[in-house]
Structure 1
Amino acid sequence: MTSTTPSAGGILAAASALQGPQQTFTREQVAYLMHLAYESGRTATYLEDVAELHATWARNPIHRPTAEQRYQERMAEMDALGQARAAAEGRPYRIHPGGPVDWETGRPLGPGEDVNA
């Protein structure tokens, strides 16, 4: 056995050998059949675990926030931190509209204003 993952051809050859008239098998053939059985069990266990996970998610959808909910939570957290920092620095809090800002003052730059000016 040269590879650790059984190939489709190898599985078909093993199935044909088991159905054929051959009554005895070489060490390599037995080792390969044992490996196929092991991989088959591993795959079945993995698929069972995934099915159980999906069933758990289906039963408890409230415990799994959507990406949009996680984004909203993160934005609310950053907003609260911004408000706390503005209050600590004694300045008014304003939501940044996006776009370039003056690095020295934090003032949003208008259309056509140079970022490096």
Structure 2
Amino acid sequence: MKINILIVEDNAAMRVILRSTVLSPETDFEVGEIFEAENGKEGIKVLENEKVDIMLVDIYMPVMDGMEMLDYTYDHPDFKNIPAIVVSTDNNEDRVDAIMRKGMGFVHKPLTHLLLNKQIRKLINDN
């Protein structure tokens, strides 16, 4: 099964890194489409128009940050079952714990292919 991925990240260089990481030959799942958005508002527009299987979301972005987007999607009947991995430099333990309690994955930047691949595989298998 091919997995469609939405990358929501305001930094263009980080979007390139995330894209190349999930497209790496070492990835142990098939990637379908990769969609990109620069902020949470754009990410929601992608969700409204495309089939997305998993989201990789930064926290700190302009317009609508990642937590606002994820709160919206997790309360929305059409999007609440799409797993998400927060990819961030955030070191706030309370925030990371809250993210994990919601069933989301969390990967610190800078990230490694192995760690991101493990988080994606876990969320795919759980859903």
Q: TM-score range by the shorter chain?
A: under 0.3
TM-score, structure 2 normalization: 0.18
Q: Which is higher, the Rg of structure 1 or of structure 2? A: 1
Greater relative contact order: 1 or 2 (C-alpha under 8 angstroms, separation 6 or more)? 2
**What's the TM-score once normalised by structure 1's chain length?**
0.19
* More strand as a share of residues: 2
The structure whose residues are more often helix, as a share, is: 1
